[in-house]
Amino acid sequence: MTRGVIQFTNSSDGMPIAYWSIGSGPPIILIHNFTLSHGELEWEINSLRSFYEALAEQHEVIRLDPRGTGLSGVEPDPTVEQVAADVEAVADAMGHARFDLVATSTLAAVGIRLATTERVKHLVLCDPSVTIAEAKEHGKFLDAIQVLAETGLSDVIASFWASTAPTDDAEPLRAVLEAIIREHPGVLQASPSPWDGRPWLGDVIAPTLIIYTRSGAITSVEQAREAAAAIPNARLVGINGSFSPYMVDRDAVLSSFGDFLGWQPSGEPLASGTSIVVFTDIVASTEVVDRVGDEEGRNAIRSVEDLVAETAADLSGQVVKHLGDGSLLEFRSASNALDFARKVQVELSGGDIKLRVGMAAGEPIHEDGDVHGAVVVVASRIADAAQPGQVFVSDGVKQLLLGKQYKFEDQGEHSLKGFDEPLRVWRLNS
């Protein structure tokens, strides 16, 4: 996989912010600490690149350099609010009203601040320095970084980073650090110690995962615990090793991400390339439009499309396209797909517009932002077999949910147009 093209957008105060994106799926934005953020050069760091590539199998991964780092504009003493505005500017440029957010180390306060708003769907904090002033006290590490940067001993700093990462990352790490010192000479010295995310901890409304490394050189376990205790319903996960989690045990970090974001139904990940394809169909949409008129009818259908999109986004699903009288969606989690269908049907119950939903599990073909293949056709045919207000699923979807708290009623084998063998279909009980 190649790195996305580096683009620029302006933050709310006009500061140029650099970013790139790869992959497809629910958007996830990553912001790293000030001493290791360079959107161009970090692609050469094998452990980082492989982390991005693995994450891009599930998400549209968006990496930005906040002001004062990497290729973005120079800002010697940025504030939490300024960097939060940088993140929002990139999300706006990408067309995302809501997004998942990963904030590492010194950027934790920014993640916490943004997660008090509706824009952040899920927040992941990696080795969070909730209060940078206290992080600087932890082993006096950042104070040492300042002295080394001021005296030009980039080799020493690079050697430290290299000691926490795989051997073949040593030279790329050195290149990143030297570029940061050269292009943003004040950023290491600044290390914005006034930043303090604690006042916002209790106001976080996004589901939150906190990952800390047990031998971390920058942050303390105490800060991670404090954040987990103060953020409502936060999860805390420890990883062996030190510093950036993706340089320690990438598989453990990705497993934690997947469990939190819904990649792992029934405790196991879907096979590579497997998706749950979902069709929603508005029953008798033509009659609805005829009855209420074109404008009101279209507004009613658009409200259903908005409901479908928002509910899917909350459950890490993706609307592939709206079809005029329904929608095509894709999920990486069978349980999330079922929860989506159930919530949409409950929301529409009692109203004039009725929806039927069909879903199947398989490996669709992805091309130009669309999905194709037999699984897509099967999901469409299953939706056609359902009655208004019902959710029908293939036998494959049901098997993925063994042991989960979902109840199904056997609808027997259906002969679906275009398929030689009949397929067993199940109805989700409400």
Residue with tokens 């259908």: 301
Q: Is the pLDDT of residue 86 over 80?
A: yes
Q: Is the pLDDT of residue 63 over 90?
A: yes
Q: Tell me what pLDDT residue 155 has.
A: 58
Q: Tell me what pLDDT residue 264 has.
A: 47
Confidence band for 43, pLDDT divided at 50, 70 and 90: confident
Confidence band for 146, pLDDT divided at 50, 70 and 90: low
The model's pLDDT over 87-101, given as tens digits with 9 standing for 90+, comes to 999 999 999 999 999
Whether 20 and 3 have beta carbons less than 8 Å apart is answered as yes
> Residues with Cβ < 8 Å from 342, sequence gap 6 or more?
391, 428, 430
Q: What is the mean pLDDT of residues 346-369?
A: 86
> Residues with Cβ < 8 Å from 368, sequence gap 6 or more?
none
Q: Tell me what pLDDT residue 71 has.
A: 87
Q: Tell me what pLDDT residue 265 has.
A: 37
Confidence band for 138, pLDDT divided at 50, 70 and 90: very low
Q: Is the pLDDT of residue 139 over 80?
A: no
**Could you tell me which residue, 365 or 205, shows the higher pLDDT?**
205
Which of 66-70, 160-164, 291-295, 395-399 has the least mean pLDDT? 160-164
Which ranges of 1-103 does DSSP label H, i.e. alpha helix? 46-55, 80-94
Q: Tell me what pLDDT residue 267 has.
A: 35
Q: What is the mean pLDDT of residues 300-321?
A: 83
Highest mean pLDDT among 282-291, 325-334, 338-347: 338-347
Residue with tokens 């601040």: 113
Q: Find the helix packing angle between 154-164 and 141-150, rounded to 10°.
A: 140
The rounded percent of the chain whose pLDDT value lies above 70 is 79
Highest mean pLDDT among 89-103, 147-161, 396-410: 89-103
For residue 270, give the DSSP letter. P
Q: Is the pLDDT of residue 15 over 90?
A: yes
Q: Tell me what pLDDT residue 194 has.
A: 74
Confidence band for 297, pLDDT divided at 50, 70 and 90: low
Q: Is the pLDDT of residue 323 over 60?
A: yes
What is the average pLDDT value for the chain, to the nearest integer? 81
Q: Tell me what pLDDT residue 289 has.
A: 62
**Could you tell me which residue, 20 or 299, shows the higher pLDDT?**
20
User: Are β-strands 275-282 and 355-362 bridged in parallel, bridged antiparallel, or unpaired?
Assistant: antiparallel
Q: Tell me what pLDDT residue 275 has.
A: 86
Q: Is the pLDDT of residue 54 over 50?
A: yes
The arrangement of strands across the sheet holding 99-104 comes to 7-10, 16-22, 60-65, 27-31, 99-104, 120-126, 208-213, 235-239
Whether 308 and 356 have beta carbons less than 8 Å apart is answered as no
Which of 55-64, 74-83, 131-140 has the least mean pLDDT? 131-140
Q: Is the pLDDT of residue 78 over 90?
A: no
Q: Tell me what pLDDT residue 165 has.
A: 62
Q: Tell me what pLDDT residue 423 has.
A: 87
